[in-house]
Amino acid sequence: MDKIIKYMIDEDLGFSDITTNALINPEKTAKAKIISKDTGIIAGINVVKSIFDEYNMEIASFKEDGNKVNEGDLILEINGSAKDILSLERTVLNLIMRMSGIATITSKMISKVKNRGLNVKIAGTRKTSPALHKFDKMAIAIGGGDTHRFRLDDMVLIKDNHIAVVGSVGEAIEIAKKKCSFTKKIEIEVETPEDAIIASSSGADIIMLDNMTPIEIKRTIDILKKKKLRDNVLIEVSGGINQDNLVKYAESEVDIISLGFITHSFNSLDISLIVEL
């Protein structure tokens, strides 16, 4: 993450911040406040603090990652080089606004489920922005969600294209169990009740019911129960799930709902940095 942050700063600076260099005395110090102009869950405070700390600035926190913020709330105060504050402003705000937006939508989705008394995990996916993947996943966790896989080496996740190449659900699981460490869970994506039965019978740890309707999911789970295969696996659902139909999916007796939109279709929180001398 440190390397990515350095790249972000270097990318924004280019050869130099010509405006700040022209206008600001290198010896000038300033105080800046980071203030929320929105309501939501704040995320990325520790990341931002680490950036300012690298530039030897004094930092005072008034909120912590995971806290709720309202319009006008003071989040951080920074004291240090005026030039550095101005040059870092956009990178810092881009990160904290993005992470807070992801944490906020994640928290909202969890509340929708909990308010109905449903014990379902809300998880992210790998539909994140390149290079920002770790920050997006951190924001999901701060919002109370499950990060799911961070990387391809976290677990075995057999998707439809893997199955298309290998030939069948059962064969894919069998190969994975032989070739992968016992320490890695095996998840497989299926689209029919028949394949869900094969997956559970073959020793999958997690079955992802992909692009099924709530009715199809409930029917699949009922079939697994009748065959005494439901308790063998965790059931995850994904595909076509949004804020409007989330509760219907949660009511279908699944264990996990993974949502791509919380990292690709969220609204960033509106946050500003104001310099005061």
Beta-sheet strands, E only, within 42-120: 58-61, 68-69, 74-81
Q: State the Cα–Cα distance between residues 39 and 44, nearest whole angstrom.
A: 15
Q: State the Cα–Cα distance between residues 243 and 260, nearest whole angstrom.
A: 12
CA angle 148, 152, 156 (to 5 degrees): 75
Other Cβ atoms closer than 10 A to 135: 22
Cβ neighbours of residue 121 closer than 8 Å, sequence gap 6 or more: 145, 146, 255, 256, 257
- The secondary structure of 165-179 as a DSSP string is HH--HHHHHHHHHHH
Per the document, the length of the chain is: 277
Q: For residue 148, give Cα distances in angstroms to 125, 136, 140, 181.
A: 6, 12, 10, 19
Name the 3-class secondary structure at 271.
strand
Active site residue 127: yes
The two tokens of residue 74 are 């003071």
Q: State the Cα–Cα distance between residues 95 and 51, nearest whole angstrom.
A: 11
Residues facing 74 on adjacent strands: 35
Q: State the Cα–Cα distance between residues 59 and 81, nearest whole angstrom.
A: 12
* Position 160, amino acid: D
Other Cβ atoms closer than 10 A to 51: 23
Q: Which of 33, 63, 114, 127 is catalytic?
A: 127
Active site residues: 127
